[in-house]
Amino acid sequence: MIAVLSAMLWWEHALLETTAWRGVPIAVLLAVLLVGSFHELSRMAAKSQIRMPPFAGATAALAIATVPLWGRLLVTGTAPMSLALTVTGLGLLAVFIEQMVRARAEDALRCVACTVFAVAYLGICGALLIDLRVAHRGVGVFLMVIAAAKGTDIAAYFTGKTIGRHKLIPWLSPGKTWEGLAGGLVGGTALALLARWICGVAVLGLWQTVVFGLIVGLFGQVGDLCESLLKRSVKLKDSGAVVPEFGGVLDLLDSLLLSAPVAQLLLMVM
């Protein structure tokens, strides 16, 4: 996924950065991954006998996540917040309607609640992630977020495998160690600095980038643990089997989804 993202980002930066189609290929790729993540969450919910409305839930998550893309291209004269809230409200309405049509009142509270959680988790966090690319901040900042979150993830995995001794949270994620976390944060921050240098990012200074990389990387690991919480509740090791050794689509995105709002907040503050 990192290789594909890197190639697409280079292509976008070279050909589309100054056009109205800036960020479209990356947003489309992320949208496909988010739909796959929704169906993996649906299968996880089914382990607890919860049947999430599949069509309305996936459509609502996709529509909310891509507001930064199609809202910029198709809608003018509407405040971004109003548009996002309107789409969210319509998505929740669609979830209720599909639940009534498909299953009536049978287990409606759990089914609707679980679906609304999936829509918020994937839709809102996905929108914040896509907004990092399609907004004015450009490809450099987006690549820094990817580098910090996924770089920490990958570096933590290999550091933990090599020198990990002390378990981080054994009841939740037995493979994670404190040594792996430390090594991951160093690796993720180094990659964020490299991305800043390659892309010539000017919005963050050197030490700001170090702080940015550490915090985004840390919350990327928190995001990974949050998904582990869901998987452990239904006795699953991975959300799927799309990528050997790494799991499903959601396993690839988890560290990015919950680090996206943190990255947005840091960029506002810094």
Residue 11 maps to a domain = no
Which one of 85, 113, 136 terminates a domain? 136
Residue 256 maps to a domain = yes
Contact 136, 128 (CB under 8 A): no
DSSP 3-state assignment of 252? helix
Average pLDDT over residues 10-31: 69
CB hemisphere CA count around 129 (13 angstroms): 30
Same domain, 48 and 61: yes
Confidence of residue 26 (pLDDT cuts 50, 70, 90): confident
Confidence of residue 217 (pLDDT cuts 50, 70, 90): very high
Q: In sequence order, which residues have a C-beta less than 8 Å from that of residue 198 and are 6 or more positions away?
A: 143
pLDDT by residue (tens digit) across 33-88? 999 999 999 999 999 999 999 899 999 999 999 998 887 767 665 667 788 889 99
Average pLDDT over residues 209-234: 95
Residue 8 maps to a domain = no
Which one of 136, 154, 186 terminates a domain? 136
Residue 4 maps to a domain = no
pLDDT by residue (tens digit) across 134-176? 875 668 898 899 999 999 999 999 999 999 899 999 999 988 9
Contact 194, 144 (CB under 8 A): no
Rounded distance between C-alpha atoms, residue 130 and residue 43, angstroms:
25
Same domain, 253 and 173: yes
Same domain, 234 and 196: yes
207 CB burial (10 A radius; 0-12, 13-18, 19+): exposed
Q: Which of 46-50, 184-188, 234-238, 266-270 has the highest mean pLDDT?
A: 184-188
Same domain, 23 and 76: yes
The two tokens of residue 34 are 């988010």
Provide the domain limits for residue 115. Answer: 18-136
Residue 207 maps to a domain = yes
Rounded distance between C-alpha atoms, residue 44 and residue 47, angstroms:
5
Q: In sequence order, which residues have a C-beta less than 8 Å from that of residue 237 and are 6 or more positions away?
A: 231, 247
Residue 58 maps to a domain = yes
Domain count, the chain: 2
Same domain, 106 and 207: no
Same domain, 114 and 194: no
pLDDT by residue (tens digit) across 177-197? 999 999 999 999 999 999 999
Same domain, 269 and 147: yes
The two tokens of residue 107 are 């287990």
Residue 6 maps to a domain = no
